[in-house]
Structure 1
Amino acid sequence: MFVLVTIAILLGLGLIFLLNRSSPPVAAEKAFYQPRDVEQQRLERLTPEQFERLCFLLLEQMGLSITGCHRNTHGEIDITAVNPQPIIGGSYIVRCVLIPPEVPINSTQIIALGDTVRAERASKGIFITTGFFSEEVRKLTEGPPIELLNGQRLRQLLEDHRISLA
Structure 2
Amino acid sequence: TDIGKQVLNEYGLNITRELVHSQPAYIEHQNKLKNKKEIDNDITEDQTFELTEKQIKDWFDKQSSDLSEKLIAKLRSTDPYQFEHMMVKLLNEMGYKGTNGQSVVTQKSNDGGIDGIINQDPLGLRTVYVQVKRYSEENVVGSPEINSFFGALRRKQADRGVFITTSSFTSDAREAAKQLNIALVDGEMLTNLMIQYKVGVQVSQTYELYDIDDDFFEE
Sort the TM-score into its range (normalised by shorter chain). Answer: 0.5 to 0.7
8 Å CA contact 1:43–1:165 kept in 2: the answer is no
Following superposition, the deviation at residue 42 of structure 1 comes to: 1.9
Pairwise CA distance, 1:67: 4.3
Structure (1 or 2) with the larger CA radius of gyration: 2
Alpha-carbon deviation of 1:62? Answer: 2.4
Q: Counterpart in 1 of 2:129? A: 93
Structure 1 or 2: more strand by fraction: 1
Q: How many residues align?
A: 128
Hey, what does 2:93 align to over in structure 1? 61
Distance 1:131 1:141 in 2: 16
Regions of 4+ moved over 4 Å: none
Distance in 1 between the 2:78 and 2:201 partners?
8
Larger RCO (CA under 8 A, 6+ residues apart): 1
Matched, 1:42 2:78: no
Task: Write the distance in 1 (CA, Å) between the matches of 2:86 and 2:153.
Answer: 22
- Give 1:138 shift: 2.4
In the alignment, is residue 121 of structure 1 matched against residue 161 of structure 2?
A: no
Preserved CA contact (<8 Å) 1:43 1:130:
yes
Report the equivalent of 1:137: 173
Q: CA RMSD in A?
A: 2.9
Offset of residue 124 of structure 1: 0.7
TM-score after normalising by structure 1: 0.65
- Structure 2: gaps of 5 or more residues: 1-65, 203-219
* In structure 1, distance between residues paired with 2:137 and 2:105: 28
Q: Is the deviation greater in 149-158 or in 52-61? A: 52-61
Percent same amino acid at aligned positions?
23
Q: CA deviation at 1:37?
A: 2.5
- List per-residue Cα deviations over 1:97-131 (Å, max 9, x = no partner): 11122110110010111111122112311001111
Deviates more, 1:146-155 or 1:132-141: 132-141
Deviation at 1:140, TM superposition (A): 2.0
**Higher helix proportion, which one?**
2
Q: Specify whether residues 163 and 137 from structure 1 end up closer, same or farther in structure 2 by C-alpha distance, changes over 3 A only.
A: same
| Aligned-pair CA distance for 1:77 | 5.6
CA distance in 2, matches of 1:147, 1:84: 20
Q: Counterparts in 2 of 1:100-115, with a 5 A limit?
A: 100-115=136-151
Residue segments in structure 1 that go unaligned for 5+ positions in a row: 1-34
The yes-or-no answer on 1:82 pairing with 2:116 is: no
1:16 corresponding residue in structure 2: none
